[in-house]
């Protein structure tokens, strides 16, 4: 009964031995599953390892690049520092060369004069000397000034004659650094009877002018930029007009700065020379109360002299005029008296006739 057996097997199930024996296609699938799982794990490990390796390599590469960039920037900074040192050395060499050559206006003297923190002083000296020969003393004074790298600003010389002694007045300009030495050398020309010196501090004025120059320069630069950016002819004309005014003020201030620098870098010596004391006293100007009193008396005496001179010049003409005018006046007076007495006499005669 085959059918009965199958039913019995279905109801009772397969025996244990039949369940463990591989049959058909189920056995290969069960064997491949663990291998596939292991292979997937291996692949996952390999991929994670490769990823970690790639990340570390990239990090190493980036670190290497950063190091290279840092080295490049450090090298660039070093190059720039070297270039700055080279430029500074070149500038220092240029300044030293200019100082050695003396410069147009004395570079070293001007730099020292306008140094920050140092007072800017304008010095003047006045010296009076009694000399034996004015012309010889003037020649020696010129030589001393030229030797000090200075010059004669002005001079007035009257050589001595039989009518009077000679005298001279010289205005000298010398470097401020050599002022004392020059005054000492000029004192050897004769006998020093008087000497005066004065100093004027122009630091405040110079700093004020310097600040105004800087402000005007910045303003002028800004106006030039506005002229380039202007879009209309009217705007350009107005800006150029304003720029011209600023530049004129700037030129005036720069000229004032130049004058102050020149006065500070060079001092003035006024030298009075005469062959006797009286002439020297008349040549050299005096100051103070007594000097003012003397000058006032001298002016009064000069005025009286001028008045008397004018009177003396007019007096001869006045005498001649009096000799001519006085007789004429006397004659006219007599004529008037005669004319006044004539009508009285006529009236008397008529009265007598009527009687």
pLDDT of 203 over the 60 cut: yes
* 316-336 residue pLDDT tens: 888 888 888 888 888 888 888
Contact indicator for 168, 275 with CB cutoff of 8 Å: no
Inside any domain, residue 332:
no
3-state secondary structure (DSSP) of residue 268: strand
The reported pLDDT for the residue numbered 28 is 46
Which phi and psi (to 5°) does residue 243 adopt?
-65, -40
**Rounded Cα gap, residues 294 and 51, in angstroms:** 113
Inside any domain, residue 305:
no
288 φ/ψ sector (left φ>0, alpha ψ -120 to 50, else beta):
left
pLDDT-derived band at 157, boundaries 50, 70, 90: very high
What's the chain's average pLDDT? 73
**Rounded Cα gap, residues 348 and 355, in angstroms:** 11
pLDDT of 166 over the 70 cut: yes
Inside any domain, residue 233:
yes
The reported pLDDT for the residue numbered 321 is 86
What is the DSSP secondary structure assignment for residue 106, as one 8-state letter?
Answer: T
The reported pLDDT for the residue numbered 16 is 43
Q: Where are the beta strands (DSSP E) in 176-306?
A: 191-201, 266-274
**Rounded Cα gap, residues 92 and 105, in angstroms:** 19
**Rounded Cα gap, residues 72 and 57, in angstroms:** 22
Q: Which CA distances in Å does 70 have to 67, 74, 82, 83?
A: 5, 6, 18, 20
pTM (2 d.p.) = 0.49
Q: Looking at residues 92-109, what average pLDDT do you find?
A: 39
Inside any domain, residue 20:
no
Number of domains in the chain: 1
Instruction: List the beta bridge partners of residue 151.
Output: 173
Inside any domain, residue 43:
no
Contact indicator for 268, 124 with CB cutoff of 8 Å: yes
The reported pLDDT for the residue numbered 115 is 47
Inside any domain, residue 117:
yes
**Rounded Cα gap, residues 127 and 55, in angstroms:** 93
Domain that holds residue 245: 112-280
pLDDT of 250 over the 90 cut: yes
Inside any domain, residue 100:
no
pLDDT of 219 over the 70 cut: yes
pLDDT of 126 over the 70 cut: yes
Q: What angle do CA 241, 246, 249 make, to 5 degrees?
A: 130
Inside any domain, residue 175:
yes
């Amino acid at each position: 009964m085959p059918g009965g057996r199958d039913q019995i097997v279905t109801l009772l199930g397969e025996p244990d031995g039949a369940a463990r024996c591989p049959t058909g296609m189920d056995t290969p699938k069960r064997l491949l599953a663990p291998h596939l799982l292991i292979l997937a794990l291996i692949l996952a490990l390999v991929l994670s390892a490769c990823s970690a390796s790639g990340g570390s390599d990239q990090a190493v590469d980036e670190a290497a690049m950063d190091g290279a960039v840092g080295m490049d920037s450090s090298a660039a900074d070093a190059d720039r520092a070297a270039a700055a040192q080279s430029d500074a050395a070149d500038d220092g060499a240029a300044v030293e060369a200019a100082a050695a050559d003396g410069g147009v206006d004395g570079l070293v003297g001007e730099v020292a004069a306008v140094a920050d923190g140092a007072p800017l002083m304008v010095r003047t000296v006045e010296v009076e000397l009694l000399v034996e020969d004015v012309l010889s003393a003037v020649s020696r004074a010129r030589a001393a000034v030229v030797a000090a790298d200075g010059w004669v600003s002005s001079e007035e010389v009257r050589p001595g004659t039989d009518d009077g002694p000679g005298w001279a007045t010289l205005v000298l300009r010398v470097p401020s650094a050599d002022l004392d030495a020059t005054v000492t050398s000029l004192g050897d020309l004769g006998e020093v009877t008087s000497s005066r010196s004065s100093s004027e501090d122009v630091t405040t004025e110079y700093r004020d002018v310097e600040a105004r120059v800087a402000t005007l320069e910045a303003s002028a630069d800004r106006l030039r930029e506005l002229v380039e950016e202007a879009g209309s002819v009217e705007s350009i004309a107005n800006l150029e007009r304003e720029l011209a005014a600023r530049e004129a003020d700037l030129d005036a201030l720069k000229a004032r700065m130049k004058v102050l620098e020149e006065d500070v870098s060079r001092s003035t010596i006024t030298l009075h020379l005469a062959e006797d004391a009286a002439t020297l006293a008349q040549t050299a100007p005096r100051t103070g109360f007594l000097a003012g009193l003397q000058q006032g008396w001298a002016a009064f005496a000069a005025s009286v002299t001028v008045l008397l001179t004018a009177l003396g010049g007019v007096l001869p003409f006045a005498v001649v005029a009096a000799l001519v005018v006085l007789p004429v006046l006397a004659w006219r007076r007599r004529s008037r008296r005669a004319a006044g007495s004539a009508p009285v006499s006529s009236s008397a005669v008529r009265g007598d006739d009527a009687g």
